[in-house]
Amino acid sequence: MKVSKTRILGSSYVGLFAITNDKLCILARGTDSKTKKSIEEAMDVKVIEAGIYDSNLIAVFAKMNNKEVYLPSYALSKEIEAIEKEIKVKVIDSEQALGNLIEVNDEFAIVSETLKKETVSQLESNGLNILQQNIAKTDAIGSSVLLLNKSFLISPNASKEEVKNIQDTLNIRGGASTANTGDSFVRNSVLANKTGFIVGDLTTGHELNRIEEALEG
């Protein structure tokens, strides 16, 4: 897989500022051109800039697969309209920080135990199979696991049972790693698709190897 170590808006927590699928990356507004180019080249994607709820913390509020992007109902209409020009948008009626509480691939959503029943039902009605569980004693699913269609990267604090449940339910393989020299909320520091990934610039060589092994399944 291709890889790039970088910062977004001066932060090593690059996963907070973007969401991606295999063709499109939605990136924080004001990202410099050099960083955009490194993302385009590492993941072979078109990059667009956007905000969610007038925030650059894209992944806190939204998640995306190859079919559509999932936005909370409090996203601004101008933000929804801009993103709809590039990909189908599914607005989820939720007051929660949606991206923090879910992680998706094309078939499945892993969702927090604190995600409201009505929100889970909306995801199900949109064709996603649901695995509802917390990871590593936290409901921050969106920070604790990164899903691809054939692999996953997960916090090293996840239990063996949690990892096995993901492997068996989603029928994919993966592995655990920190990033950015010890960040166990690994999705905050990594952005990936089937082609490549970007990581925060504080990520060590050992972490890079473990991340790549996990994402290659």
Length of the chain: 217
Structure-token match 């927090």, residue found: 112
Q: Would you state the pLDDT for residue 158?
A: 97
Give the model's confidence band at 187: pLDDT under 50 very low, under 70 low, under 90 confident, else very high.
very high
Rounded to whole angstroms, the Cα distance separating 148 from 122 reads: 21
Return the pLDDT at 96: 94
pTM score > 0.75 for this model?
yes
- In sequence order, what E strands does the chain have? 2-6, 18-20, 24-28, 46-50, 63-64, 68-72, 88-92, 102-104, 108-111, 129-132, 145-147, 151-154, 173-176, 190-192, 196-200
192-211, pLDDT tens digit by residue? 999 999 999 999 999 999 99
pLDDT at 188: 98
Total tally of structural domains belonging to the chain: 1
Task: Strand 102-104: give its sheet, edge to edge.
Answer: 102-104, 108-111, 129-132
Strand, helix or coil at 28? strand
Mean pLDDT within 111-140 = 96
The pLDDT value recorded for residue 186 is 98
Q: In the β-sheet with 196-200, what is the strand arrangement from edge to edge? A: 2-6, 196-200, 190-192
**Would you state the pLDDT for residue 179?**
98
What pLDDT is stored for residue 130 in this prediction?
Answer: 98
Burial (CB < 10 A; 0-12, 13-18, 19+), residue 10, is exposed
Q: What pLDDT does residue 50 have?
A: 97
Domain, as residue range, for 53: 2-215
Q: What is the pLDDT of residues 46-103, one digit of tens each?
A: 999 999 999 999 999 999 999 999 999 999 999 999 999 999 999 999 999 999 999 9
pLDDT per residue over 127-173, tens digit each?
Answer: 999 999 999 999 999 999 999 999 999 999 999 999 999 999 999 99
Q: Residue 209 belongs to a domain with what CATH number?
A: 3.75.10.10
Q: Which residues contact 86 (CB under 8 A, 6 or more apart)?
A: 24, 26, 46, 48
What tokens were used for 149?
């269609």
H or E stretch covering 213? helix 205-215
> Whole-angstrom Cα distance, residue 92 to residue 136?
26
